[in-house]
């Protein structure tokens, strides 16, 4: 335990040093994303550490969480709903009904050419009907004031509700993907999740009626006050002056602290829940399944069902974290979802921290996120020293200075490989 | 109604592009499937290996262009390809020595090797972006077309043009040569036979005195040849951009799995199945149908089944369907 406290203390020191050497604003900004990273790492740790499921589609679930903030918190657009809101959801239901009918037909009829033809016919007819209903509705919605809205808007509810909603949305997607890919070989799940993440991003980029696509949704409501309002409030300015801070700095720090408190509440709640789960009979069963599936199955455990359950729970946590990120950003920008940043970085966090150990994942989240942010200035400084002998304005010097931002990827890869090789159980190993 | 024009349009917009794309996927999937067969893990770094090989080839191509060496009508990149292959093979042998060999000796679970390959992917991705940058690079020189659309129209008097780009022709020819050479190697040479034996039954192969480290080395070199060739051909045909190569991972894996992981013949078939489905489902059929149907039935819309932005959904859907109905692929692959 002593060692763990030391590790956490070391990471805390990194953040405090950032506060003193750069600014407290930077330190708090990194810390807030560190809190969210820790939540994501917990979600991945549940899947990998408890059950040994290899999910490389975290980005997709995170993006779904982001979509949930728009669907929950933005005000609805009555004109767009009048233009085609019900029609478009009816079309989607029809599409889902087609797939359902095809599955039922496939299960009910006996194998043979007739069954294949019947299933094919259902798909063709269903698809034509679906497009016939969907396309005009979509065009009608997207034609409503396209420069500002052009989408259905959301439900106009408080944005904090989007966090559980994001979890639910991600859980639904996880159920779909788990139903098909779980129970097959382990690397099939990896490839299936890789694919579903790309598709979720493609849908979010292209379905303008849903979340404005690459036109982005900006100005999401915030759960905390705006800096400008704080600076205008007399009591806040007074308090800031009493602390010896100018109102601008004080307001940004205050807002970040409020966000930090919200995220910390979620994180602490999740740590408590996951620790309870890990030490419960359910957690022991999960680890038994992970360590020896055949033996667990022989003991009467339904391995595929348990895997599905844990896959959904882990993905839901990632979806919730995604909603938290979008809330913090205040905007949904589907173009910024990159697998390296939202999937593989989280994996590095879990493995470096110690898979199978919740505290390890949290530590990994804070440490790796700090590193991810700080590698760039540190790398820039090193690169400046290296390129010192080169003349100013030379092509090579500019190229090397430009490439600093890509050194992050390299560093993360090297960190992952070194930890896998020399400390595969991570900084805080599983007990 | 004009069936000849319809056929030319079909050839121009569907068959030729899909064949070229399918060849590139097949080469990529062959690399994945070989590594899976011998080393028994899914190599996630394959897309970035392709990017690395293509990058070295581009750098050498630029050097050749600067000193004035060219292949006339053929792209200079073909001359630079062997250098790209050599560098990639060296790089892969080094990663094997530094990364994978350790886990092999430990007999680690396949999933650990997959994770290590993720780390390698990160590093390669970083190296490529540091050296050549994340932007798009064009390096295709030489003749642009084998058949030009305008010449074709004048020659045949048809209203539809047929454009056959030289990059597409080169892709198809190079793929045929590479696949023929690979199968000759696997079926006829001593090393190739020992590779197949090792893939089929590791213990039996070891008992027969096959040197596993040599088999592994040869596999990495073959994978480097295939990956670099696929990467360069894709770059010639479309354009080189590091992130695109990472995204190619999904259709490549889909090809390999659809054909049956570990089965080279399946990888080739899978590549073409994925490419043809992707192109036919995302192509706007209006032109072909306008020619093929009587005037009264000509379609109003684009008759596009899926927007091109959803092309990855096609490989994914095929992958899922095959996994549900034939979990070991169309041609029986192996399971670990």
Domain boundaries, chain B: 3-325
Query: Collapsing DSSP states into helix, strand and coil, what is residue B16?
Result: helix
Residues A217 and A144 in one domain: no
Residues A70 and A81 in one domain: no
**Does residue B305 surpass a pLDDT of 90?**
no
- What confidence tier does B14 reach under pLDDT thresholds 50, 70, 90? very high
CA distance B131 to chain A (A): 8
Which letter, b or e, does each residue of A130-149 get, where b requires 16 or more Cβ atoms within 10 Å of its Cβ? beebbeebbebbbebeeeeb
Check CB contact under 8 Å for A413 and B254: no
Residues A245 and A120 reside in one and the same domain: no
Residue-range definition of the domain harbouring residue A98? 77-152
Contacts of B131 in chain A (CB under 8 A): 403
**Range A408-420 average pLDDT:** 88
Whether A389 and A406 share a structural domain: yes
In a domain, A431, yes or no: no
Instruction: State whether residue B49 sits within 8 Å of chain A by CB.
Output: no
The overall average pLDDT reported for chain A is: 90
Q: What is the ipTM of this complex?
A: 0.88
Domain end, chosen from A95, A129, A152, is at: A152
Rounded mean pLDDT of B312-334? 81
Decide: B228 and B53 in contact? Cβ < 8 Å.
yes
At A338, is the pLDDT very low, low, confident or very high (cuts 50, 70, 90)?
Answer: confident
Does B236 score more than 50 pLDDT? yes
A353 and A387 share a domain? yes
Q: Which of B122, B252, B321 to mutate to test the interface with A (most CBs of A within 10 A)?
A: B122
Residues A263, A321, single domain; the answer is yes
Q: What is the mean pLDDT of residues B305-333?
A: 82
Cα separation, B198 vs B208, whole angstroms: 10
- A380 is a domain residue: yes
A347 interaction partners in chain B (CB closer than 8 Å): 115, 118
Restricting to B residues 29-48, those with a Cβ less than 8 Å away from any Cβ of A are: 41-42, 44
Whole-model pTM: value is 0.89
Percentage of chain B with pLDDT > 90? Answer: 50
Render pLDDT for A57-69 as a digit per residue (tens, 0 to 9): 999 999 999 999 9
Q: Does B207 touch chain A (CB under 8 A)?
A: no
The pLDDT of residue A13 is above 90: yes
Residues in chain B, overall count: 336
What are the backbone dihedrals phi and psi of residue B333, each rounded to the nearest 5 degrees, phi first? -95, -160
Contact at CB, B126 and A409, closer than 8 angstroms: yes
Residues near B23 by beta carbon (within 8 Å), at least 6 away in sequence: B171, B172, B174, B175, B233, B271, B272
In a domain, A258, yes or no: yes
CA-CA distance, A108 to A105, in Å (whole number)?
Answer: 5
* pLDDT score recorded for residue A228: 86
- A329 and A413 share a domain? yes
- Sequence-distant (6+) residues with CB within 8 A of A292 are none
Which pLDDT value is given to residue B253? 92
| Model pLDDT, residue B1 | 59
> What pLDDT, in 10s, does the model give residues A340-351?
889 989 999 999
Across A40-54, A245-259, B220-234, the highest mean pLDDT is recorded for B220-234
Distance CA A333, CA A345 (A): 19
Looking at the structure, tell me whether residues A355 and A385 fall in a common domain: yes
pLDDT reported for residue A149: 84
Backbone angles phi, psi at A230, to 5 degrees: -60, -45
Q: Is A429 inside a domain boundary?
A: no
Of the three residues A152, A185, A216, the one that is the final residue of a domain is A152
Range B7-19 average pLDDT: 91
- pLDDT above 60 (res A425): yes
Test mutation, A176, A375, A409, A425, chain B, max B CBs within 10 A: A409
Predicted local distance difference test score (pLDDT) of residue A1: 62
Chain A, nearest residue to B43 by Cα: A187
pLDDT of B336: 45
- Kindly report, residue by residue over B145-204, the tens digit of the pLDDT: 888 888 888 888 888 888 889 999 999 999 999 999 999 999 999 999 999 999 888 888
Whether A36 is in a domain gets the answer yes
* pLDDT value at B334 more than 70: no
**Phi and psi dihedrals of B169, rounded to 5?**
-60, -45
Is the pLDDT confidence value at B319 over 90?
A: no
Lowest mean pLDDT segment, chosen from A355-369, B93-107, B143-157: B143-157
**Residue A246 confidence (pLDDT):** 84
Half-sphere exposure of B252 (CA within 13 A, CB side): 31
* E runs forming strands in B105-254: 145-147, 164-165
The answer to whether residues A111 and A59 belong to one domain is: no
pLDDT digits (tens, 9 = 90+) for B28-80: 999 999 999 998 899 999 999 999 999 999 999 999 999 988 888 888 999 99
For chain A, say whether B127 makes contact (Cβ under 8 Å): yes
Chain-chain contact of B125 with A411 (C-beta, under 8 angstroms): no
Instruction: Output the pLDDT for position A180.
Output: 80
Among A366, A197, A391, residue whose Cα is nearest residue A267: A366
Give the highest mean pLDDT range of A372-376, A378-382, B250-254. Answer: B250-254
Interchain pair B316, A199: CB under 8 A: yes
Give me the phi and psi of A292, to 5 degrees please.
Answer: -155, 95
**Nearest chain A Cα distance for residue B279, angstroms:** 17
Q: Are residues A39 and A7 in the same domain?
A: yes
> Of A109, A127, A152, which residue is a domain's last?
A152
Q: How far is CA A181 from the centre of its chain?
A: 21
Q: Yes or no: say if B48 and B125 are a contact pair by the CB < 8 Å rule.
A: yes
pLDDT surpasses 50 at A36: yes
pLDDT of residue B153: 83
Pair A193, A56: CB distance under 8 Å: yes
CB A265 within 8 Å of CB A36: no
- Same domain, yes or no, for A136 and A238? no
Number of domains comprising chain A: 2
Structure tokens at A136: 């005009």
SS3 (DSSP) at B11: helix
B79: Cβ contacts below 8 Å, ≥ 6 apart: B61, B64, B69, B71
Q: Which CATH number fits domain B3-325: 3.30.1490, 1.10.287, 1.10.3470, 3.30.70?
A: 1.10.3470
B218 close to B194: Cβ distance less than 8 angstroms: no
**CATH number for the domain including A40?**
1.10.3470
Within-domain flag for A81? yes
* pLDDT single digits (tens) A115-162: 999 999 999 999 999 999 999 999 999 888 888 888 988 899 999 999
Residues 6+ apart with CB under 8 A from B213: none
Q: What tokens appear for A411 in the block? A: 């560093």
Query: Is residue A210 domain-shared with residue A168, that is, in the same domain?
Result: yes
């Amino acid at each position: 335990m002593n060692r763990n406290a030391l590790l956490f203390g070391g990471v805390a020191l990194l953040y405090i040093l950032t506060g003193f050497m750069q600014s407290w604003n930077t330190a708090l900004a990194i810390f807030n994303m560190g809190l969210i990273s820790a939540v994501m790492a917990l979600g991945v740790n549940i899947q990998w550490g408890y059950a040994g499921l290899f999910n490389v589609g975290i980005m997709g679930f995170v993006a779904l969480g982001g979509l949930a903030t728009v669907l929950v918190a933005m005000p609805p657009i009555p004109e767009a709903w009048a233009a085609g809101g019900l029609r478009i959801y009816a079309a989607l239901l029809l599409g889902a009904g087609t797939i359902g009918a095809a599955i039922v037909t496939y299960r009910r009829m006996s194998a043979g050419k007739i069954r294949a033809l019947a299933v094919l016919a259902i798909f063709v007819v269903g698809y034509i009907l679906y497009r016939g209903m969907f396309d005009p509705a979509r065009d009608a919605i997207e034609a409503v004031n396209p420069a500002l809205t052009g989408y259905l808007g959301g439900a106009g509810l408080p944005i904090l509700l989007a966090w559980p909603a994001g979890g639910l949305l991600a859980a639904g997607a996880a159920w779909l993907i788990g139903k098909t890919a779980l129970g097959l070989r382990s690397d099939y799940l990896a490839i299936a999740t890789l694919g579903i993440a790309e598709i979720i991003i493609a849908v979010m980029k292209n379905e303008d009626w849903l979340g404005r696509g690459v036109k982005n949704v900006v100005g999401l409501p915030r759960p905390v006050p705006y800096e400008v309002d704080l600076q205008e409030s007399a009591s806040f300015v007074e308090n800031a002056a009493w602390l010896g801070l100018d109102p601008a700095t004080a307001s940004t720090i205050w807002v970040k602290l409020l966000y930090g408190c919200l995220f910390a509440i979620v994180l602490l709640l999740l740590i408590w829940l996951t620790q309870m789960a890990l030490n419960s009979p359910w957690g022991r069963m999960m680890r038994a399944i992970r360590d020896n599936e055949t033996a667990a199955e022989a003991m009467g455990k339904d391995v595929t069902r348990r895997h599905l359950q844990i896959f959904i729970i882990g993905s839901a946590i990632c979806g919730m974290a995604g909603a938290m990120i979008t809330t913090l950003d205040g905007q949904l920008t589907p173009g910024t979802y990159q697998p390296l940043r939202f999937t593989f970085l989280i994996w590095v966090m879990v493995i470096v921290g110690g898979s199978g150990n919740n505290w390890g994942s949290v530590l990994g989240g804070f440490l790796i996120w700090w590193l991810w942010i700080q590698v760039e200035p540190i790398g820039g400084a090193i690169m400046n020293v290296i390129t010192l002998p080169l003349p100013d304005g030379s092509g090579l010097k500019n190229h090397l200075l430009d490439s600093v931002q890509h050194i992050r990827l390299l560093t993360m890869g090297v960190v992952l490989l070194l930890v896998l090789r020399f400390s595969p159980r991570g900084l805080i190993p599983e007990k | 109604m004009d069936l000849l024009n319809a056929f030319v349009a079909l050839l121009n917009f569907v068959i030729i592009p899909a064949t070229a794309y399918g060849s590139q996927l097949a080469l990529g999937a062959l690399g994945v499937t070989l590594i899976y067969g011998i080393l028994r893990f899914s190599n996630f770094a394959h897309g970035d290996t392709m990017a690395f090989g293509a990058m070295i080839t581009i750098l050498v191509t630029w050097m050749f262009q600067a000193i004035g060496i060219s292949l006339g009508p053929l792209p200079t990149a073909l001359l630079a390809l062997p250098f790209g292959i050599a560098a990639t093979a060296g790089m892969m042998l080094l990663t094997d020595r530094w990364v994978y060999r350790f886990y092999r000796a430990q007999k680690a679970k396949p999933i650990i090797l997959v994770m290590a390959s993720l780390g390698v992917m990160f590093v390669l991705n970083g190296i490529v972006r540091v050296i050549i940058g994340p932007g798009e690079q064009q390096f295709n020189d030489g003749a642009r077309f084998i058949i030009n659309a305008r010449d074709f129209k004048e020659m045949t008097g048809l209203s539809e043009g047929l454009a056959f780009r030289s990059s597409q022709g080169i892709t198809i020819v190079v793929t045929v040569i590479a696949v023929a050479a690979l199968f000759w190697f696997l079926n006829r040479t001593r090393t190739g036979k020992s590779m197949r034996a090792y893939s089929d039954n590791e213990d039996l192969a070891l008992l027969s005195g096959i040197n596993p480290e040599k088999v592994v080395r040869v596999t990495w070199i073959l994978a480097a040849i295939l990956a670099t060739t696929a990467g360069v051909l894709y770059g010639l045909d479309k354009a080189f951009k590091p992130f695109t190569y990472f995204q190619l991972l999904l259709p490549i894996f889909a090809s390999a799995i659809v054909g049956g992981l570990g089965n080279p013949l399946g990888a080739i078939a899978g590549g073409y199945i994925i490419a043809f489905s992707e192109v036919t489902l995302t192509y706007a059929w209006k032109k072909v149908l306008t020619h093929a149907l009587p005037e009264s039935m000509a379609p109003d819309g684009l008759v596009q089944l899926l927007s091109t932005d959803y092309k990855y959904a096609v490989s994914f859907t095929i992958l899922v369907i095959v996994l549900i109905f034939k979990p070991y692929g169309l041609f029986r692959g192996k399971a670990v």
